[in-house]
A = this chain, B = another copy of it.
């Protein structure tokens, strides 16, 4: 049984201000919570779950140190952010990774310039994970990593991808020797360019890459449309998916 104070406390973590203050965030759903418990990247500090979930977790919970509270589906509904809550909600501690310069120099790092939609951010981290990109840097104006929508959309990818906030200016000293690719509407054709490791910049959903960030892009690239009288753009997450795919193909499957 969950107390009124506990409900109030979890609900307080629905807001960014309180999440940041406590350094905690919410994860939900059987699959995601189980992944967070078994993975060492994050520390789960409290689990709220229905008996249906708890009865099956003897193995998973063995030797864990987090607090467990059993609740009813109705109580879960009160603390959940999902429209269809799924048996379990957990609270985990945020991590703040530092820039890994070796990853930056020797593999593909994603730089997300002012991505505003939490769902898009989560989706792009999921894409990075799929294609083996281990480091994602968000501009300070980007939406927050620990927004529940970001966490849910990443589908566990934030366990495997290091996501940090850093301005392009602070990153600049490390960009002198590497290609800085930027997804723009009038760059070189990604299919016929020779793509290598480096920084890949994806811009804001409506405005693309900011003028300031563009000054650091030394390799503007474009997904060529089939015709000139079709769509004017792809959405940011789809563009990110296509470009990451083409990097992956050229670095691994090109002959």
Contact = CB atoms under 8 A, between A and B. Distances in A.
A141 interface: no
Contacts of A18: none
B191 A231 contact: no
Interface in A197-255: 223, 225-227, 229-235, 237-239, 241-242, 245-246, 248-249, 252-253
Given A189-B253, A249-B191, A132 B238 contact: no
B191 A130 contact: no
Copies of this chain in the oligomer: 2
A179 interface: no
Interface in A125-173: 126-127, 129-133, 155-157, 160
Contact of A238 (B123, B191, B192, B232): B123
Contacts of A232: 155
Given A238-B127, A238-B237, A249-B191, A160 B230 contact: yes
Contacts of A131: 225-226
Contacts of A231: 126, 129-130, 155-157, 160
Contacts of A192: 253
Given A191-B249, A238-B241, A226 B127 contact: no
A79 to B, nearest CB: 24
B130 A235 contact: no
Given A245-B246, A249-B246, A235 B132 contact: no
Given A155-B233, A239-B241, 15 more contacts: A123-B238, A126-B231, A126-B235, A130-B230, A130-B231, A132-B226, A132-B230, A155-B231, A156-B231, A157-B231, A160-B231, A191-B249, A191-B253, A234-B241, A237-B237
24 contacts: A123-B235, A126-B234, A126-B235, A127-B234, A129-B231, A130-B225, A130-B230, A132-B225, A133-B226, A155-B231, A157-B231, A160-B230, A160-B231, A191-B253, A192-B253, A237-B238, A238-B238, A241-B241, A241-B242, A242-B242, A242-B245, A245-B245, A245-B246, A246-B249
